[in-house]
Structure 1
Amino acid sequence: MDPSQFSSQPPEAYKSSGKSGMPAAPPPAYQHNPAGYPPSFLNQPVPQGPYTQGPYPGQPAVTVQPAVFVTAAPLANPVPDYLAYSIFTMLCCCLPLGIAALIYSIFTRDANNSGQRELAEKNSKTARTLNHVALGIGLVVIVVIIISQIVIRTAR
């Protein structure tokens, strides 16, 4: 193969021929656009400077606001979450109310960590109330069981 046959010009078979009704026009010359510059056109001036920004003529400007991320810090004086009390009432007194109290205790801890005092106080109060009710029900059930066992054993 002869390297002189391979040039930047297309072979004669691909140039305009009788097959195409369009006249053969050479492609436009390559225009070098440095990084950061939009493509330039004949009727548009080339911007000066390495970091020029702005809208094209006839286009409106768009202003973009910077993103702001707000992170909450944990509370300095956290609200009590009654987690141990909830686990005790769940295991020893009343399982359904103990589970509900445990869930509210976890919600209280999450609100303390995210800095939401009002939510933490509300969840803490709910957890404490559920724990008190569960403890009361558990004590009543234990007392009833003890009394019934004493009555059954003395009736024999």
Structure 2
Amino acid sequence: MDPSKSVATAPPGPETWSNEKYPGGQSVPPPYQDSLYPGHPQPGPGYPPQGYGYPLQYGAGAYVQQPYPGGVQPYPGGPQPYGAAVTVQPTVYETQGPLANPVSDYLCYSIFTMLFCCLPLGIAALVYSISARDANHTGNQATAERSSRTARILNHVALGFGLVIIILCITLIAINISILS
């Protein structure tokens, strides 16, 4: 322990810490003190019991309905008591079921062209096929038709591209074999 510091010394007051500044231009906060109110006792572990509900008016034993300005009441038939029932209608969501006549989604055709003809076009066709299938299940006719048409076109292009590549490969192999023999 440092003998120059004593427990009996009082913490420095505002006259000593108000001249210092933080780099941001703010003054240094006051030092920590155990008691927020020096010389006064600390509050106890609990608070005195509080009453519940609205505070009573002076001179009245219970809540008294105040008169309305101009004598006009907001509801016909007198004031409404507290806890009056308010009916709220539930939100109704209208959902469509699956289409009665679903559009073809070309899913098998897309998987075939993806695996055996042209991978990039087959993947794109597969995405549109799945989109058409989802639209069929949600009942969205326009989206199902558009996705189905796009999947069919992509599948035809991928199949054509794959057939052209296969025919070119067979032709080149046949030419190389005839040259070598």
**d(CA) in 2 for partners of 1:129, 1:154:** 38
Deviations 1:95-130 (A, max 9, x none): 000000000000000000000001100000000000
**d(CA) in 2 for partners of 1:151, 1:29:** 100
Q: How does 1:70-89 map to 2 (within 5 A)?
A: 70-89=94-113
TM-score by length of 1: 0.64
TM-score by length of 2: 0.55
1:43 aligns with 2:65: yes
From 106, 110, 113, give the equivalent of 2:130: 106
**d(CA) in 2 for partners of 1:52, 1:91:** 68
Over aligned residues, Cα RMSD in angstroms? Answer: 2.8
Q: CA deviation at 1:155?
A: 0.3
The corresponding residue for 2:84 is 52
* Partner amino acid, structure 1, of 2:81: P
Q: Which structure has greater helix proportion?
A: 1
From 142, 147, 150, give the equivalent of 2:166: 142
Which of structure 1's runs of 4+ aligned residues deviate more than 4 A? Answer: 27-31
Q: CA deviation at 1:29?
A: 9.6
Q: CA deviation at 1:41?
A: 2.7
Q: Give structure 2 stretches of 5+ with no counterpart.
A: 1-49, 55-61, 67-78
Q: Which has the higher contact order (CA 8 A, sep 6+)?
A: 1
From 54, 66, 73, give the equivalent of 2:90: 66
Change (3 A) 1:142 1:28: closer
